[in-house]
Structure 1
Amino acid sequence: MRLERLDDLLVDWLPRQRWFAGKDRRIDGISVVSDTELVEGDPSLRHVILAVHQDGGTDRYQVPLGVRSELPGRLQYAAIGQLGDGSCVYDAVHDPGLTRVWLENMAGNVDAGPLTFRSITTIDTELESLASPAEQSNTSLIYGDVYICKLFRRLTPGINPDLEVSIGLARAGSKHVPELHGWFSSDLGGTLSTLGMMSEFLRSGTDGWQLAGTSVRDLYAEADLRADEVGGDFAAEAERLGAATADVHRDLAAAFGTGEMSQAEVGAVAERMHARLVETCDVVPQLRPYAGRLTDAFDALEELDGPLLVQRVHGDYHLGQVMRTDSGWMLLDFEGEPVKSLEERRAPAHPLRDVAGMLRSFDYAARHLLVNGQAFGGDRDQLEYRAQEWADRNRAAFCRGYAEAGGIDPAAHEVILRAFEFDKAIYEVLYEARNRPSWLRIPLGSIAALSTRAESGYLAS
C-alpha cells in the first residue's frame, strides 16, 4: 500500500477525529514517519505514524490502518476512504479481527520493525477488543473485561509519564492503581517513545465524576434536607478518596524520591501565577474584582520561608481520573496535562497541587448541573446554596481523609493550597471564557466564595 495516495483522504479525515489537536488549523502536508505491517492478507493491518505539518509546526500521530478489499457494514462508520486500487482503508482500532495483534505481540515480547512490544505479566491472547467511545485525546481498546490498552494518538518523543509512573507504582506495590500488563514503543527522532500501554480493566469500577454527580442530583431533589441528611451523601467517599490519594503520593515518593524547591524557585512559581492572573484579567474583565485577593494569595506563597517539599504527583487530578471499585478508590491516567511539555509533566511538584485539583473538581461537580440547565425543583438561590454546601462538605472530607492517611495536612498549609487552587481556578476562567462561556460562572463563583473566607475557615465544611 502506498501511503502517499492516502494524503487527500487523511487531510479530510483527521480533523474530524476527537483526538486530533489541529482542528482549527489548515493541514499543509502529511508525511509518513513509519509504516509497519502487523497483519498480512485481507484484511491487513498497518501501523502508521504520520507527521502532520501545520502553520510551520509538526505533530506526530499514531494511526493504525486496516485495509480490506470490501468493507463490511459493521465497519462503515470507521471508513477513511477508498484507495486507487478499489480497496477500502479504515481506522483499524474498530476491527477486533485485527486488534488482537496487540495482545499477541505483547505476550510474545515481539519486535516488529521499529516497534517493540513488552509485557510484565502473562497475557491472555484470545480476547476480542472494543474501542471505548469515552476518551478525547487517546483511544482505548477494552479486551473482554480483563485489559484496557491505551493508544496515545498524538505522540511526544520520550517515555510517557503514565507508563513511567505506572511502572514505578507497580514496583512500589501501590494498591490504588490498576495493574500494568505491558506496553509498546518506537523510536521517534532518536528517542525511545511510548505508543501505548495495557493495564487491568476495572470491571467493577464507577467513574468518580459520575458518582459525585449522582450525589448532587440527590441533594437537589431533596430541597428540605441538608447534604449530610441525603441518602446519596458523598462525604464518606470523598474522605476515602483523600486517604487513597495520600497513599499514592506516599508510593510516588518511595518510587521516585523527593526533593526541595528553593525559596527562589517558589518565587518563580508565584510569579507565573501573577502573570496568569494579569493575562486572564485582560481577557475576562469579570475576574478583575477579585484580582486584589488573588494577588494577596500569590504574594503569601512567595513570602513563605524556607524550601518546599516536591515529588512526582498526578499532575492532572480530578474526579474523572479516579474510579470507585469493589476494593476501594483507584487512581488513573498519570499522563499529566496534555498541553504541557513532557519535561513539565515529569517535573516534581508540591503534593498539594493534586489536592487543589481535586478541590476544584468538587466545585465543578456541585455546579455543572445548574449550568447545564437541568430542571430541579426549588428556588435558584436555594440550589446555589445547596451546591456550595455540597462542595464545602466534600472538600473538607477529602482534606481530612488525606491528612489522616499521612498526607501533608492541607489545613496546616493553607497558604500553599490556596495559591494552587486560585491559580487552577484562574486557568479555568480563561478556558471557559474561550471554550464554554456558559460555564464561566463556575470558576468565577468559586473564586468569589473562596475569596470571602481567604482569611479564615478556608476548608470549613
Structure 2
Amino acid sequence: MTEFVLAIEWAGFEKDKYVHTVLEDNILPPFIAQCRWFAGKARSIKQLKVKDAVHFDEFIFMTFEAKYEEGDVELYLLPLSFVETNTQDISPKGILSKASMDDKLGFLVDAIYDVNFRNALFSSFYNQKAYDQINKDVLSFLKGKAFIAESEVIESVLPNIDSSNSAMIFDGKYFLKLYRKIFAETNPEAEMVEFITQNSDFKNIPRFAGSITWKRSNAPEITFAVMVEVVESLKDDWSMTGDYLNDFMEAFVDGNFQIRESVFGKVSQLAVRTAEMHKALFALRGAEAFNAEPFDRQYRRFLHQKFENLLERRYTLLTDNYLRLDEQAQFLAWKFMEAKDMILDFIDQVLTRPLFSYRTRIHGDYHLGQVLATEDDLVIIDFEGEPESTITERKIKHSPLKDVAGMIRSYHYAVSAKLFNSAETSNIDAQELQRAADRWYKLIKDTYLEEYLAVFGSPHPLFKDNNEINYLLLFHLLEKAVYEIGYEVNYRPTWVKIPLKGIAEVLAEVEKLRR
C-alpha cells in the first residue's frame, strides 16, 4: 500500500488524468502483483492504463488495460470504494491506497471488501436497477428465475476461494461471481446459465439468479458478474472418481480386478445429466444465439483449420522437447509423429464427408472437475468455455459429442494418474498397469457413452446415425488429446504419455475405419 494520500472525487473520475496517472504508475502495480485474479504476474508489463469508470450508487466499476512487452492486451475490472478510516475493518489485501474524499480521510479499496458495496449490489438485484451513465451507457442489474429473496437487506461474505475471479455469497443462498479479466462481449457463462434456467426444467446446474451487464451505446455489452444459486456439494466428481479408483487400486494390488456396481451407477448418472444438459441447450427455434445449426461449409473450414493449426503446434512442441520425455513417452510420441499423414487424412474428411447431425451451444470445457457431487445427485458448473479460446470461439456451436469426448478423456486421465502415480503400484510392471488401466477405462467409457445416447433415443436431430456419431466422437477425442499435450509438456512432462496413449487408442480406431 502506498503511503501518500490520494485525493479523489467520484464525479468526473473518468476524466481525472492526475488520479489515473497515480493509479497507473504508483498504486496499481504493487496492488495487482498480490491479486490472485491478475493473470499477468509472470509477464513483463509495458503499461497499465485506466480505461473506463462505470458509476454505480456510491461506487465505481473501473476498468484498466494491461499491456505487455509481448502478447495480447488484457482488460481487467476493479470495483472501487472509498471507506472512511475506522468505519470498517478492511482486509489489508483490499486496500489500494490512503485517500481523501470530501475532506474525509480513509482508504481507496477494492470494493468487494466493503460491506456497503455488497449491500448495494444485492439491493440493485432485488430492485432490478439500471444506472444511466453520462455517455448514454447503462449498468443493468437483471434477476433470474432462481432469485426469490423476500428482502433487499441481506448478509454477505467473501468465501475463501482461490480463483481467477472474485466471489461473494449472499445469505448463504446466492453465489455471485465477479469477473476480473473481462472481454468486449457478453460472457458465455452468463448466457448459458441464463438460457438453461429460463428456458428449461433442467435443475442440475447452479440456476441463474441474476447478472450485471454494462450495456454500451456504441460497443458490444460486457458482463461484469453472474449470480447463481449456492450449491451444497460434498466434493467434485474428479475427487469422487479418485475415491472409486482407490478401491479399484487396492483390489488390483491384491490381484483382483473389480469395479463396484455403485461406480457404474454414478457413471450412468453423469451420462444422463450430461445428455439432459445438452437437450436443455438444444433449440431449433427461439433465441438466435442458441438455435441449432447444421455442419455448414464455413463451420467445417473453421473446425479443420483449428485442428490443423493445433496439430502443427503440438508436433513442434514434441520435437523441441523430445529428449525431455521418458522412454515410453518417446515411443508414443514417435508413433504419433509417424501417423501424421493418416491424421491429416482423417481431419480432411470433416470438409467433405456427409454430416447431417446438428450442432449447438455446449459446455466447452467439460471434465470431471466441472461436476459437483451432492448428497444424491450431480451438478454441472463453470460454463465459461475452453480457457485458451477467445470469447467468440467459445460461443461457436459444436456437436455435443465434443463435451462427451472431454468427459471420456477426463476418465482416461483419472485412471492413468491413479495407477501410474501411486506408491502402492510403484513395484508393478508398467505393462500390467497399462492393461488394467485400459480395461477400467473401456468399461467406464462404454457405460458412459451408452447411457448418454440412450437419453436421446434414435433418431434425434443432434445425431443423424451411428456412423456420424462414431466419426465425430473420434474427431473430438483426437482433438482433445492433442490439445492436452501442450499442458503436459510444459508443466508435467512425466504425464505426457497420458494424452499420447489416448491418441494411440483413437488412431487404432481410425485405422479400423480405413480398413
TM range (shorter): 0.7 to 0.9
Unaligned runs of 5+ in 2: 1-7, 9-18, 320-329, 458-462
Structure-1 residue corresponding to 2:493: 437
The residue correspondences of 1:36-435 to structure 2 (distance < 5 A) are 36=55, 38-39=57-58, 45-55=59-69, 58-70=73-85, 75-83=90-98, 87-96=106-115, 98-112=117-131, 113=133, 114-120=138-144, 121-123=147-149, 124-134=151-161, 136-170=163-197, 171-187=199-215, 190-204=219-233, 206-222=235-251, 223-224=253-254, 228-230=258-260, 234-254=263-283, 256-262=290-296, 265-266=299-300, 268-285=302-319, 286=330, 287-291=333-337, 292=339, 294-326=343-375, 328-369=377-418, 373-377=421-425, 379=428, 381=430, 382-406=432-456, 408=463, 412=467, 413-435=469-491
Structure 1 residue 129, shift from structure 2 partner: 3.2
Contact 1:402–1:409 (CA<8 Å) still a contact in 2?
Answer: no
The answer as to 2:464 corresponding to 1:447 is no
Structure 1 residue 48, shift from structure 2 partner: 2.1
Contact 1:138–1:151 (CA<8 Å) still a contact in 2?
Answer: yes
Distance change in 2, residues 1:155/1:263 (3 Å): closer
Supply the AA of the counterpart residue of 1:284.
L
Distance change in 2, residues 1:104/1:66 (3 Å): same
What is the distance in 2 between the residues matched to 1:409 and 1:218?
A: 39
Distance change in 2, residues 1:80/1:17 (3 Å): same
Percent sequence identity is 23
- Deviation track 1:103-140 (CA, whole Å, cap 9, x = no partner) reads 11111112234422121333354443333444533222
- Deviation track 1:251-286 (CA, whole Å, cap 9, x = no partner) reads 111362321113674355234323322221121135
Structure 1 residue 205, shift from structure 2 partner: 5.2
What is the distance in 1 between the residues matched to 2:248 and 2:87?
A: 48
Structure-2 residue corresponding to 1:42: none
Supply the AA of the counterpart residue of 1:152.
Y
Contact 1:262–1:308 (CA<8 Å) still a contact in 2?
Answer: no
Structure 1 residue 173, shift from structure 2 partner: 2.4
- Deviation track 1:287-306 (CA, whole Å, cap 9, x = no partner) reads 34213153454245445224
What is the distance in 1 between the residues matched to 2:113 and 2:302?
A: 46
What is the distance in 2 between the residues matched to 1:71 and 1:438?
A: 53
Structure 1 residue 216, shift from structure 2 partner: 1.9
Alignment RMSD (CA, Å): 3.1
Between 1:446-455 and 1:270-279, the stretch displaced more is 446-455
Q: Secondary structure at the match of 1:315?
A: coil
Contact 1:313–1:348 (CA<8 Å) still a contact in 2?
Answer: yes
- Deviation track 1:12-59 (CA, whole Å, cap 9, x = no partner) reads 2324433323232314122141153544xxxxx543222333348532
Structure 1 residue 380, shift from structure 2 partner: 5.6
Unaligned runs of 5+ in 1: 40-44
Contact 2:99–2:108 (CA<8 Å) still a contact in 1?
Answer: no
Structure-1 residue corresponding to 2:32: 14
Q: Secondary structure at the match of 1:338?
A: coil
- Deviation track 1:41-93 (CA, whole Å, cap 9, x = no partner) reads xxxx5432223333485322111234445589974452444336574444333
What is the distance in 2 between the residues matched to 1:401 and 1:352?
A: 13
Structure 1 residue 313, shift from structure 2 partner: 1.2
Q: Which has the larger radius of gyration?
A: 2
What is the distance in 1 between the residues matched to 2:56 and 2:107?
A: 16
Contact 2:214–2:221 (CA<8 Å) still a contact in 1?
Answer: yes
Contact 1:206–1:325 (CA<8 Å) still a contact in 2?
Answer: yes
Q: Secondary structure at the match of 2:471?
A: helix
What is the distance in 2 between the residues matched to 1:12 and 1:394?
A: 49
Q: Secondary structure at the match of 1:83?
A: strand
